[in-house]
Amino acid sequence: MNVEPIADPRRLWPRRAVIGAVLVVAGALLGWWLFSQLGQPFDIDRWWNETLPADPGPVGLVFGLVMNRVGGTWVGVFAIPIAMAVALVLLRRPWAAGYFLVASALSALVVQLIKNLVDRARPEDILVTTDAGSYPSGHTANAATIAVVAVILFPRVWVALVGVVWTLLMAFSRTVVHAHWLSDTVGGTLLGAGVGLLVAAMFTAQLEQERRAVALRRS
């Protein structure tokens, strides 16, 4: 019987914790910088916002609206996380489900906290209805958190590639409908990925034990 050996949590969790902390601090520092500048957009923000058409056309608008709903609203905030957690429980991975729910909730909490502190104005040509506070992008943070969680739970190259593409598409969609400045999506990516890694560090031992148990059942 050939079972994949369990990773040593004592070596794994510090790497996740350090990288996660660096990403979260980077996202928070970018928010502090914006706060000190009264939320004014950077030159690259203005350039990107002006490069994208004010009217993205039917295809661009549908893309933006679909991603807006999937990445946020009750669909992205409640329905998708609960459905994924239930699926993980059915796969007999309760620790994985718990990790996903905690990471999603903490990511959303961090985003809302920084949103209220920075209180950055959104682009004037916004095409969707959303809450106040442009920095960071909650949709992009949510996408980055899901991507990191997916890679932690299913460490495959193709999973990482899909996660990167999903996060980039979400970030692009938020600027297509002019709901965010480009730097908002960068901050959301940093914070979402960082929180995902920090929570993974907390759950490392349990997740590795559970992964081995699943491998033993399948062998």
Per-residue pLDDT tens digits for 110-148: 999 999 999 999 998 898 878 788 999 999 999 999 999
181 occurs within a structural domain: yes
Q: What is the number of structural domains in the chain?
A: 1
Q: In a 10 Å sphere around its CB, with 0-12 CB exposed, 13-18 middle and 19+ buried, how is residue 10 labelled?
A: exposed
C-alpha to C-alpha distances, 124 to 63, 82, 116, nearest whole angstrom: 20, 34, 19
Instruction: Return the pLDDT at 157.
Output: 95
User: If we measure between CA atoms, which residue out of 183, 111, 113, 102 comes closest to residue 142?
Assistant: 111
Instruction: Return the pLDDT at 3.
Output: 44
Instruction: Return the pLDDT at 5.
Output: 54
CB 188 within 8 A of CB 144: yes
Instruction: Return the pLDDT at 6.
Output: 59
10 occurs within a structural domain: no
Per-residue pLDDT tens digits for 94-117: 999 999 999 999 999 999 999 999
Least confident range of 15-19, 55-59, 215-219: 215-219
Report the largest interatomic distance among the alpha carbons of the chain, rounded to a whole angstrom: 62
CB 31 within 8 A of CB 118: yes
9 occurs within a structural domain: no
Would you tell me how many other CB atoms lie within 10 Å of the CB of residue 140?
31
Tokens 């929180």: give the residue.
Answer: 195
156 occurs within a structural domain: yes
C-alpha to C-alpha distances, 75 to 130, 154, 184, 205, nearest whole angstrom: 14, 23, 21, 31
Per-residue pLDDT tens digits for 157-180: 999 999 999 999 999 999 999 999
89 occurs within a structural domain: yes
44 occurs within a structural domain: no
pTM above 0.85, yes or no: yes
Per-residue pLDDT tens digits for 62-82: 999 999 988 877 777 788 888
Single-letter residue type at 168 = L
What range does the domain containing 68 cover? 31-37+58-208
50 occurs within a structural domain: no
180 occurs within a structural domain: yes
**pLDDT (average), residues 186-215:** 94
Per-residue pLDDT tens digits for 3-54: 455 566 668 889 999 999 999 999 999 999 999 988 899 999 999 999 999 8
